[in-house]
Structure 1
């Protein structure tokens, strides 16, 4: 398998996951390129019997973390911080989806990187916890622990948001 095939099969997934992991919209294309540069460099080391998606995701997590640190250290914040809108079928759906996406993005930004990665992989990308542990290179129990802590943090943040908004 070559890097072009990996990109065709996993490029959209990596793009989506970089956004979900908090990479600024202006930085996503650069981060996507960085992921596939790493894939190209490390492809000869990849175990052909293993699943490609978790391996690519693990690389994406590390690249996303570096991209967020670079953005944070440069203190470049602006109006374009809001996530890109989702394209649902009606204008009302569009507004609701955009608001939900923005709220989730703000909530996930409050969770540390390790818990956020586990939460995104399990809850949003629907990987099993053992798969998450393998991707992140941590024990399964650690992944469960991080997932539970992230779920509590997200639930608390949603509860605070609803109280503040009167929902």
Structure 2
């Protein structure tokens, strides 16, 4: 007779999870504000956690939302580290950053990332998962372990804040001469 501790969820193998979800994790980390130069390392950090904890995955949420939760924590740590390093470098250099250091990204992507940086972590996670990753509010609620109404509240607030920030950006650009290269 099977024990009650056995799960009905299928067992996941690390190699399969890595192969199937690498792009999702990388993309999520990028959208969560991990700098381009740190994305590969941050992705590996996520999968190191997955390797240690995969057997403990209880399938109360989808695998993707579980991975996103891990990615959120790794991204938070990376952003803090990057912020501290940047402050140290700026204190040393006291020179403005070159505008060309983000040539790989389009203006719209850079703007979105800058606007997402202004959101608090909860709103940012909900916005990224629903609007950019196409997950449902129910999936996100299960993955983040919060009430679905909280998800809708955070999503509305994130949309409102992003819209206001984008409007302000456009007003500033118009006042600066209307030269936009987006």
Using the TM superposition, name which of 4-13 and 76-85 deviates more.
76-85
2:14 alignment partner in structure 1: 3
- Confirm or deny that 1:15 pairs with 2:42: no
Contact (CA 8 Å) 1:35, 1:59: kept in 2 or not? Answer: yes
1:116 alignment partner in structure 2: 124
2:107 alignment partner in structure 1: 99
Shift of 1:47: 2.7
Contact (CA 8 Å) 1:107, 1:154: kept in 2 or not? Answer: yes
Q: Distance in 1 between matches of 2:128 and 2:21?
A: 17
2:8 alignment partner in structure 1: none
Contact (CA 8 Å) 2:14, 2:50: kept in 1 or not? Answer: yes
What's the TM-score, normalizing by structure 1? 0.84
Number of residue pairs aligned between Structure 1 and Structure 2: 155
Shift of 1:41: 0.7
Out of 29, 33, 36, which is 1:25 matched to?
36
- Confirm or deny that 1:158 pairs with 2:178: no
Gap change, CA 1:62 and 1:116, over 3 Å in 2: same
1:67 alignment partner in structure 2: 78
Which consecutive unaligned segments of at least 5 residues does structure 1 have?
86-97
Using the TM superposition, name which of 33-42 and 65-74 deviates more.
65-74
What's the TM-score, normalizing by structure 2? 0.77
Structure with the higher helix share, 1 or 2: 1
Contact (CA 8 Å) 2:25, 2:43: kept in 1 or not? Answer: yes
The alignment partner of 1:23 has SS state of: coil
